[in-house]
Structure 1
Amino acid sequence: MTAASPAQQPDPLLSGPSDDLWPAPFARGAVDATVTVPGSKSVTNRGLILAALAAEPGWLRRPLRSRDTLLMAEGLRALGVGIEEGVGPDGTGEAWRIIPAPLRGHASVDVGNAGTVMRFLPPVAALADGPVRFDGDPRSHERPLHGVIDGLRALGARIEDDGRGALPMTVHGSGGLDGGTVEIDASSSSQFVSALLLSAPRFNQGVEVRHVGATLPSLPHIRMTVDMLRAVGAQVDE
């Protein structure tokens, strides 16, 4: 058997259209266009948490529809929060109406493999009136949650994780948390800090979070959390 020389091998990138290839658009002149940029997953999931913990119903305009944001919405629904998907009050663009309600326990939350869901929802679950079980994709069991778990335990929450510091776990909601000062090692994920801050306005005494580990990663994401908290009226001191 004789192998074909390189010159005889068909080049898949030059051999014509294929169902496996995406034909990139090519501009033959100047482009004048308006592009609607999709929403941010990080902003959408933070907005869902803040709206769910608000005192009255609100709108989340132009959310990003993705697996992670839909998992967050379903997790909040499992806790009793109303989320209606449709068109906003101005009649343009998708919007979700968030209807806060007393947070209920005896619920299960599928986090998929979404870091924001597995880290942002346990502090919310601590405010529910009963146990909330968290689980997700097999890969989610490998992702660290110790910062959130340790922080919530320091604030008085009861959590069963069999010492793994990871999923699956059960948060035993008691209807509220006193809050206060907590020290956590968030060197593996800034989401540990954001998780506690997002629910802090519902803690009786708020929360003061102190990072005690190595370099804190993703500071812009913590800034995003702080800015969104302030935008809805929460007081954040740095």
Structure 2
Amino acid sequence: MMRLKGQTALITGGGRGIGRAVALELAKEGANIVVTARHESEIRETVRMVKQAGVKAMAVQADIRNEEDVWNLVSKTMEKCGRLDILVNNAGIAHRKSVEETSIEEYEEIMDTNVKGLFLCTKHAIPHISKSRNGKIINISSGAGQHGISDLSVYSASKFAVNGFTEALASELSGRAMVYCVCPGAVDTEMYRSMFMDIPMLKPKHVAEKVLELSLPESNVLSGSVIEVYAPPIPQL
């Protein structure tokens, strides 16, 4: 049984990594998928992959830092799908630099994407998600949003903000929608590999599986929860 059949999920940063994995995972349960990112070629490839699950899918190029783009994104979602049930705020960016080396442009890029973009998408999605019997807002944060990491000070600050926003929003939307925050450890993504040399055991699919669990109507996780995700243990021979 497809437990999300007929529902619509909007996923930011859906062109690769965690966002693409989430799109594929929710599609397997029957959700129609809308993905957005700044690079159209990447989200079109995600849509191609999602459609193989037999659901509707749409790519909308947008810069979530721009309110007009976000308004257009939500409007197109409603026009195409007629409803919005699940918002996954996944888009994010990081620069691995000390505070002294970080430019104001880099600071603004991180904060505008990771915090302002999440705020704008949430603000414009709430009126529609509130009408769903399974309204869910799931914010992808980071372990760096719970414990500050050297040379990722601005990124950590942005993710601490996401965690606090999640908890406050859950209270605001009590009885209207459920709000969650997922905090993965190091994930094997292009962004991570651009900053570090090691290859983490935690994969995008592992994070996507947790997002799916929270998205399901039968989820009984308390709204406002901040949930950590770690790599599964290595099987013992």
**TM-score of the superposition, structure 1-length normalised?**
0.33
Name the structure with the higher helix share: 2
- Could you say which structure has the greater relative contact order, defined with CA pairs below 8 angstroms and 6 or more residues apart? 2
TM-score by length of 2: 0.33
